[in-house]
Amino acid sequence: MLLRNRLLSLNLTSFLSPLSPPPKSASFLFSFNKTIAHSTHKRPESKPDVSASRPAKQPMSERARFAKTVLFVPPGVDPEDVTDEMILPGSNIVVGPYAGHSQIKEVEFVKSSGRAKDCPKDDRPEFAILGRSNVGKSSLINALVRKKEVALTSKKPGKTQLINHFLVNKSWYIVDLPGYGFARASDAARTDWSSFTKGYFLNRDTLVAVLLLIDASVPPQRIDLDCANWLGRNNIPMTFVFTKCDKLKASKGKRPDENIRDFQELIRENYKQHPAWIMTSSVTGLGRDELLLHLSQLRNYWDQ
């Protein structure tokens, strides 16, 4: 409980300033070593070894327990070895040995598909971007690839109605999915979205992970939590990408950092191990390079 409470008191506000770049070390966010060192939790005492042929099992340290439950520890990393410097700023993501080249040199639109079975079949890994229709999906894609014309940005919610594949560096895909929960869509459009998007998730073998976008400028929304829970129940890997983190003043009572904490607290009720999360802003560029590095280590591991 103490480790959990310490996490809830993390200072996220410093990452929201558009006037200063993200800090180079994640220690500004996590005070990871301090959390472990000052924890009042004691390591479980090892029982005496009653059998010379069977050594006593080593208890998990508080460092490893914290890493396994609070941080996203990628393949190739022992939770016992996680340090502050391995955690990406503004996130709970640990960088591991599979992290590699993350620069986007070229991107091209490939096709729009109305059905999951019509999507490209070339076995390249892909990341699907999902979220409420006004969460800033297109803006995030534009910020990632640094091309304003790549994704269609519109002030009218629900503009994207198809599964759109963008090929990056001729090696992997960014997939722009229709936004959910748009108020002006017809019932037929809502039904279409539910059927073909869920079909995509359940039948797409090349899907590495879903980037579930969450608007940090508003309090946690039930529709976002329901979507996260559905993905979790179906064992679909996801990363929470908090958008609009540049908005220092909240329009509905709380700051973005407070909304992020509230959302994470609700998520922890259903997840023993917290999914990866990261703070972003398409306006200031916050989190762009860190998110691409995260995608690189997921992609490189998937390619093995």
Residues 246-293 have pLDDT tens digits of: 876 655 578 899 999 999 999 988 888 889 999 999 999 999 999 999
HEC assignment per residue over 245-291 = CCCCCCCCCCCHHHHHHHHHHHHHCCCCCCCEEEECCCCCCCCHHHH
131 inside domain: yes
Percent of the chain at pLDDT exceeding 70: 71
Domain that includes residue 258, residue range: 107-303
67 inside domain: no
Q: Is the pTM of this model over 0.85?
A: no
In the predicted model, what is the mean pLDDT of the chain? 78
101 inside domain: no
Name the burial class of residue 102, with classes exposed (0-12), middle (13-18) and buried (19+) by CB atoms within 10 angstroms of its CB: middle
36 inside domain: no
Split into its structural domains, the chain has a count of 1
Most confident region among 135-144, 207-216, 243-252 by mean pLDDT: 207-216
Confidence of residue 8 (pLDDT cuts 50, 70, 90): very low
9 inside domain: no
Q: What is the pLDDT of residues 163-186, one digit of tens each?
A: 999 999 999 999 999 888 754 545
114 inside domain: yes
Q: Which residues contact 191 (CB under 8 A, 6 or more apart)?
A: none
29 inside domain: no
293 inside domain: yes
Residue identified by tokens 């301090």 is: 34
Q: What is the CATH number of the domain that holds 217?
A: 3.40.50.300
More reliable by pLDDT, 252 or 38: 252
